[in-house]
Structure 1
Amino acid sequence: MRTLGNILWIILGGASIAASWFFVGLVLCITIIGIPLGLQCFKMGWLTLMPFGQTVTYGGSFLSMLGNVIWAVTVGWILAVLYLFAGLLNCITIIGIPFGIQSFKMMKLAFAPFGATVTPNYY
């Protein structure tokens, strides 16, 4: 089921959104100051490319918390609202509910990516 969900996700827009995340990550990595932000964009890009079967765990240090505060105040809240809107639109139909759940998972990571790890579920 996870493979089918990922294939449908990629076809229905996940590939273009992931490519956007990767592009922004590359642009941010041009400068030394932007590298930590670019790495978070790559994390979001991988999750956006194949969200089904991935788990996001949160934790981290004081620096992660500080990075999340700066990220959330500047761009994180905008990205989170966009993912919230996409998730709500997906949940309008019964078929779209699994896609909405994945959008909500990405919403949380888009709001606070520092200190979070994305791991695949193998079961």
Structure 2
Amino acid sequence: MRTLLNIIWFIFSGLWLALGYYLAGIICCLLIVTIPWGIAAFRIGNYALWPFGREVIETKPTGVAATLGNIIWLVVAGVWLAIGHVVTSIPLFASIIGIPLGWANIKLIPVSLMPLGKEIVDSDSLMPGYRGA
């Protein structure tokens, strides 16, 4: 079932969202100082390509630097990527088959707003009963 959902996701929104994340990552890497955000954008872009079967979890507290980094990301790119998730989720909710895809889009919004201090893991590797962020 995951594979089928991932294929449908890839066609209707995953590719376009991933391209947005990759563009943000390229811009961040070109600016040198913002390479950590670029790496986070590439990581989230890979997650946006194939989200079913993976979860976002919080890593250990990362401190003031990550908090400031998340605030900068939020202003520069996070809001725009989150808007992209909302816009692509609306038509997905219009059909019965698209509802899980719309929810997956909504599930990506928190990590698109604050990517630093988060990790993307396979759902199978999580402890039983544990759900990520």
Structure 2: unaligned runs, 5 residues or longer: 126-133
Matched residues, number:
123
Alignment of 1:4-83 (within 5 A): 4-59=4-59, 60-62=61-63, 63-83=65-85
Partner residue of 2:123? 121
SS in 2 for 1:57: strand
Aligned residue identity for 1:39: I
Deviation of the 1:102 alpha carbon: 0.8
Structure 1: unaligned runs, 5 residues or longer: none
**C-alpha distance in 2, partners of 1:92/1:30?**
39
Q: Name the TM-score, length of structure 1 as normaliser.
A: 0.86
SS in 1 for 2:116: coil
Q: Structure 1 residues 81 and 18 mapped into 2: Cα distance closer, same or farther (>3 Å)?
A: closer
In the TM superposition, structure 1's runs of 4+ consecutive aligned residues that sit over 3 Å from their partners are: none
Q: Name the TM-score, length of structure 2 as normaliser.
A: 0.80
SS in 2 for 1:56: strand
Q: Structure 1 residues 23 and 86 mapped into 2: Cα distance closer, same or farther (>3 Å)?
A: closer
